[in-house]
Structures are given as structure tokens and as C-alpha cells.
Amino acid sequence: MDMIIAGLLDSISLASLIFLLAGVAVGVLIGAIPGINGPMAIALFIPITYYMTPLTAIGFLVGLNKGAFFGGAVSAVLLRTPGTPEAAATAWDGYPLTQQGKGEKALRMALYSSVAGDFLSTIVLIAIAAPLAAVALFMGPAEIFALISVSLTVIAGIGTTSISRGLIAAGFGILLGLIGTEPVTALPRLTFDVYQLGSGLSLIPVAIGLLAFSEILLQLERLAVNGSGEHCVTVFSKKSEDRLVSLKEFFATTKALLRGTLIGVGVGAMPGLGAPVASFMSYDQAMKRSKKKHEFGKGSLEGIAASESANSSVVAASLIPLFVLGIPGNLAAAMLMGAFMIHGMQPGPLLFKENAQLMYGIYGSLVLASLLLLLIGRFGLRFFCKAVNIPAMILYPIVMFTCIMGAYLGKSSMFDVGIMLAFGFIGYYMRKFDYSYVAFLIGFILAPEWERALQQVVIISEYDSYMFFQRPVAMMLMALTLFVVVRTFWTSIHAKRKNKKIQAAAVAAAQHKVTE
């Protein structure tokens, strides 16, 4: 009990509150800018958190991520260009409202749904993470090894259209994650006699290059081909019924909101799926079950509530596998895992045992971040709308220079800047060639833990080749890994056949039309 109170008191200290507020505000601002999302923002700002206490740092990054999720809705509603992929479904109903002069109403609905979904999902996280972590403590190295294997396979299968490319990316990530000092012999491995690689590739330059820099390269290419695109609509109607969401209107969306939250929590807790899946799934369900189906796509508040509550509830839910098992479920969680490691902590069930006060502090910060999001969104809405209009030609050089200085900041080394540029280049090609950078990054982060678990299994089992068969849970997880690979291959072959059939039918129909 003392731990809980001490942790909660830490979360309401002045420094924590200031950085949490700053995190949420910067997150909304960044999320509102098309092309920049939560994980990118975390990658860019992790170097700053070197200079903070662990609680302030994690609170700041969590606030940043939560803010960015809502921020994505701003450009989705005003510009029909979602700031983040998960806000795409919000644009379907938000933009029509903006065209009717009700943009502010759409944004308020997005804010309230976002905060409600996020708050409820945080409560679920708080309620189940610690008890599940207590159970997870019984897992041995064999189970951990098998669990990482199955997570990597699931993430590799989902992040790309081909599981083979996903697994190649994950393998590449694991390989690069093993560069540095080998844990058993304490001798350099795959360093190619470059002394800076002795401690391995740092996560910060790799993540900044892969997530932020490569995305800016793509955005600039898009800008060169398509021009600066359409201008944002920020003219709102002044009538109060067009600006505000009444209680009646809000309560009319309750079912969609709660369903969205439930879907978001479920999807967020599973590795690999991510917020866009939750958002589209929730929107689809809301449309199917609504009494006003005809309003969907034309400015339905229910549609906005379904999409926003689902994608925001993924934020806290994605921390469940991270806190319980030490496995990041999505990119944002992987970046937060990196932040934990930078501050000398290994996410997983032991975190509750060894850093209980910090964990309760983080819980406090998560709840406060939801409330601060409501406050910041409510009063800063018009300011954030203006952020959407920052010209790309000014914005992108600023982001690129921030990437360079962010990579430098970690170790005050230009070598890391070179690493960041190299990974920006690699990330650009990975995106172009459809290799999952999510699988790569998660493989990169989990590689040392995967190897450590394998080393322990080999040593404990005394070189028994059947070591996994003696542990039923590990055996089940390894079987699940195999099942995921086979099933994904099978589904992709089946989809190809289906595509061919559809195409043949379309060609036949076209020929029939021509003959007629």
C-alpha cells in the first residue's frame, strides 16, 4: 500500500506534471501534422529523456504517444489526410462535418471519444497487468524464448503483405541486434573491428533513422510528385449547435464508444495488430449495428466515436504485453521498451517486483495523461488546427535536422548520426520494397533477450536436444509459432487464388459487355 501511495504521489510531483503536460501538448501538435505519428515522436524525443528521471521520462513519452493518437484526428477531420494511419476511419465522417462547417464539433467528438476510450483502457491495464505479471513470473527461459519466437512470427506476418518478407526483416533485426559484446565470452561479435560497435548499435539512432528519417524521405518524395496538396479548412460555423457536442449527442454514441474501447483493448493487448486494425474494426461494427446506418460516411458522430475510442484505447492496452511479458505489442510499445532499457530497467513481470513504486507512478501518469489530454484538447483545439497548415517545406527540414541532432545527443557522437542516416536509407528501401520495419525493429530490440533465454535453456537443460519437449507451455508456444507461419503462408496462397478467380470473373463480365 505504501508503494502505491508513494508511486501516485511521485506522479503528481511538479516535475512529472510539467513534463506530462508538455508530452501531451507536443504529442497532439505532432500527431496533427500529417506524416508524423506517435512512435516517430517517441523516437525523436527519447534522447531528451536521457536527462530526466525514469518516471518523468516514461510519463513524458506516454503523454506524447497519447497526444499523438488524438492529434491524428485533427488533420483527418480538417484535411481528410489522417495525421496517423489509425485516424483514417475518423476522416470518413469527420471531413464531411468539416465541409458542413461543423469541423469543431467533429474534433470535440473525436476528443471526448479519444479520452473516454483511453481512460477506460488505462483502467483495464491497471486492473489486469499486475495479476497477470504475477502469473508470468512462473515462466522460465524456455517459455520466454518460445514466447519471443511466437511474437516475432505474429508481428512479421502482420506488418507486411508477405510473411517471408516479414521474417526476413525480423531476421535482419535480430542479426543487427546481436552486434556488440557477446554475453558469455565478453568478446566483440560482428563489430568488424569498429570500436564504436563494441557496445552494439544504439537503439536511438536506429529508431530515429528507421521511423522518422525514412518517413520524411518518403514524404518529401510524395511532395515532389504531388505538390503540397490541398489546404486545410479551418473556417468553423459560429452556431453553438454546430460547434458543441450536447450531452444527448454524446450519450447517443455510448454503445459505439464502449464497443470501440472493447475492440481497442482486445486488439491492443495482442502483439502485432495495432491501432489501425482496431479503428477500422470498430467503425465497421458501429456501422453494421447502428440504427442510423445511412449517416455513416456523411458526418456521423457515432462513426467518429467508434474510430477514435478504438484507436486511443490501443495505447494503454498495448502496454499489457509489455508490462506482463516484456514483449512489445506494437511500435510505440517497442519504443517505450527502449526508453525503459535506456533508464536501466527491463520491462516484464519483474518490473512489478523490483520497481513497484515506479510502476504505480507510471499508472498515475497514465491516468493523468488522459485527463490532461481532455484539458489540452478542449482549450487548445484552435491552436492545433493551425499546426496542420505549417508548410511542408519548412517543417521537413526542421524534422530532419532534429533527427540528426537527436541521434547525436545520445552519446554525443557523430558516429551515431552516421548510423541514423544509414538506417534512414535502409528504412526508405524497406518501406519501398515492403519489408516490415516494425518486425525489424522489434527483432532488433528483442534479440539480446532471445539469445539470453536460449543460452539459459541450453545451460539448464545440459545440452538436451529435446529441452522444449519437456516444458509443455514452451512446446505449445513453439507449435503456435509453426502454426502462425504455415497459416500465414496458406492464407496468402488462398488469397492469390481468390484474386485470380475475381479477376477472371471481371474479365469475363467485361467481355460479355463488349459482345452485347
Partner 1 sequence: MTRIKRDTIAYLLVVGFCVVMLSWAIPTYTPAYPGYGASPALVTNVAVGIMLSMAILSLLTIAISVFTNKPLPPEESEFPEDLKDGGGFTQVGRVNIMQLGRIMIPCVLLLLAIDLIGYALASFAYLMILQYAIGNRKWLQSFVVSVTLTLLLYIIMRYGFGVPVPGPQLFE
Q: What is the CA radius of gyration of the chain?
A: 23
CB of 475 to partner 1, least distance (A): 18
User: Where on the phi/psi map is residue 494: left (φ > 0), alpha (ψ -120 to 50), or beta?
Assistant: alpha
User: Where on the phi/psi map is residue 321: left (φ > 0), alpha (ψ -120 to 50), or beta?
Assistant: alpha
Q: Which of 81/357 has CB closer to partner 1?
A: 81
Give CA–CA dist 203/67, Å, rounded: 23
CB of 18 to partner 1, least distance (A): 14
Among 241, 354, 434, 464, binds partner 1 (CB under 8 A): 434
Q: Which of 138/192 has CB closer to partner 1?
A: 192
342 binds partner 1 (CB under 8 A): no
Among 383, 433, 469, 490, binds partner 1 (CB under 8 A): 433
Contact 162, 151 (CB under 8 A): no
Kindly report the number of other CB atoms within 10 A of residue 303's CB atom.
30
Among 138, 195, 226, 466, binds partner 1 (CB under 8 A): 226
Q: Which of 213/323 has CB closer to partner 1?
A: 213
Diameter of the chain by CA atoms? 82
Q: Which of 43/373 has CB closer to partner 1?
A: 43
- Please report, as residue ranges, which positions from 42 to 71 form the binding site for partner 1 (by CB under 8 A): 48, 50-51
C-alpha cell belonging to residue 273: 495488430
CB of 47 to partner 1, least distance (A): 9
CB of 328 to partner 1, least distance (A): 18
The string of DSSP codes covering 66-99 is: HHHHHHHHHHHHHHSS-SSGGGHHHHHHHHHHHH
Q: Which of 352/450 has CB closer to partner 1?
A: 450
CB of 226 to partner 1, least distance (A): 6
Please give the DSSP secondary-structure letter assigned to residue 188. Answer: E
Among 70, 119, 280, 450, binds partner 1 (CB under 8 A): 450
Q: Which stretch binds partner 1 (CB under 8 A): 26-34, 246-254, 298-306, 421-429?
A: 421-429
Contact 218, 428 (CB under 8 A): yes
CB of 223 to partner 1, least distance (A): 7
- Please report, as residue ranges, which positions from 118 to 177 form the binding site for partner 1 (by CB under 8 A): 162, 164-165, 167-168, 170-172, 174-175
Site string for partner 1, 1-40 (x = CB under 8 A): ----------------------------------------
Q: Which stretch binds partner 1 (CB under 8 A): 242-250, 314-322, 369-377, 450-458?
A: 450-458
Size of the site for partner 1 (CB under 8 A): 71
CB of 203 to partner 1, least distance (A): 18
- Please report, as residue ranges, which positions from 451 to 510 form the binding site for partner 1 (by CB under 8 A): 451, 454-455, 458-459, 496, 499-500, 503
100 binds partner 1 (CB under 8 A): no
Give CA–CA dist 159/436, Å, rounded: 5
Q: Which of 161/246 has CB closer to partner 1?
A: 161
Give CA–CA dist 184/45, Å, rounded: 33
Alpha-helix residue ranges (DSSP H) falling in 433-471: 437-460
Q: Is the dihedral of CA 409, 413, 419, 425 positive or negative?
A: positive
Residue from 204, 221, 210, 211 nearest 405 by CA? 204
Among 203, 417, 478, 484, binds partner 1 (CB under 8 A): 417
Among 383, 429, 469, 483, binds partner 1 (CB under 8 A): 429
Q: Which stretch binds partner 1 (CB under 8 A): 10-18, 28-36, 312-320, 429-437?
A: 429-437
CB of 81 to partner 1, least distance (A): 14
Among 12, 135, 137, 393, binds partner 1 (CB under 8 A): 393
- Inter-CA distances, 459 with 21, 257, 446, 462, 473, Å: 48, 50, 20, 5, 19
Q: Which of 172/250 has CB closer to partner 1?
A: 172
Q: What angle do CA 391, 392, 393 make, to 5 degrees?
A: 90
| Three-state SS sequence of 21-41 | HHHHHHHHHHHHCCCCCHHHH
Q: Is the dihedral of CA 128, 130, 131, 137 positive or negative?
A: positive
Burial (CB < 10 A; 0-12, 13-18, 19+), residue 73, is buried
401 binds partner 1 (CB under 8 A): yes
Q: Rounded to a whole number, what is the distance in angstroms from the first to the last CA of the chain?
A: 80
Site string for partner 1, 179-198 (x = CB under 8 A): ---x-xx-xxxxxxx-----
Contact 233, 103 (CB under 8 A): yes
Q: Is the dihedral of CA 202, 207, 212, 217 positive or negative?
A: positive
CB of 56 to partner 1, least distance (A): 14
Quickly tell me which residue has 489540452 as its cell.
Answer: 376
CB of 2 to partner 1, least distance (A): 34
C-alpha cell belonging to residue 131: 495479476
Q: Which stretch binds partner 1 (CB under 8 A): 21-29, 122-130, 327-335, 416-424?
A: 416-424
Among 131, 198, 229, 397, binds partner 1 (CB under 8 A): 397
Among 130, 178, 206, 320, binds partner 1 (CB under 8 A): 178
CB of 451 to partner 1, least distance (A): 5
Alpha-helix residue ranges (DSSP H) falling in 326-391: 331-342, 350-354, 356-387
